[in-house]
A = this chain, B = another copy of it.
Amino acid sequence: MAQIKHSRQREAIRIFLMSRKDHPTAEAVYAHVKEEYPNISLGTVYRNLTFLVDNGEAIKVPCDDGSVHFDGNVEPHPHFQCRKCGAIIDLDFDGTKCENALNKAAATDFEGIIEGNVTFFYGICPECRRENS
């Protein structure tokens, strides 16, 4: 029922998220949007990030290290986190086959309903790898 009204701040947050290949945290979004709207509040950022996620315009990426990142690319795709620098990186391959196989395997002898799965990769990112060698 509740109508949705346009807002400059929300738009700025969306634009920023979509323009980014890295996966900013709420704090990072705040820091950036603040340049355009100096007195935007952190609450507004959180409220709108949640809004975007709920409306399928962004994905919430909770990581193993406890940090929460946001992704403007809503096409299903796997994520990778660097064990060293913590960066979240998109992996560009189609894991659909494996995903389906996994869902099937998981559903065997399981009385509940498997709706899907998320695979999270970890290791060393290209940059840290270069530095280290």
What is the count of identical protomers in the complex? Answer: 2
**Nearest opposing residue in chain B for A119, CB measure:** B119
Contact residues in B for A120 (Cβ distance below 8 Å): 117-120
Q: How far is the CA of A78 from the CA of B85 in the complex (A)?
A: 26
Q: For A125, what are the chain B residues with a Cβ–Cβ distance below 8 Å? A: 112
Within 8 A of B (CB), among A97-132: 98, 101-103, 105-106, 108-129
A106 lies within 8 A of B78 (CB): yes
- A42-59 interface (Cβ within 8 A of B): none
A interface residues (Cβ-Cβ under 8 A, vs B): 60, 62-64, 66, 68, 78, 80, 82-83, 89, 91-93, 95, 98, 101-103, 105-106, 108-129
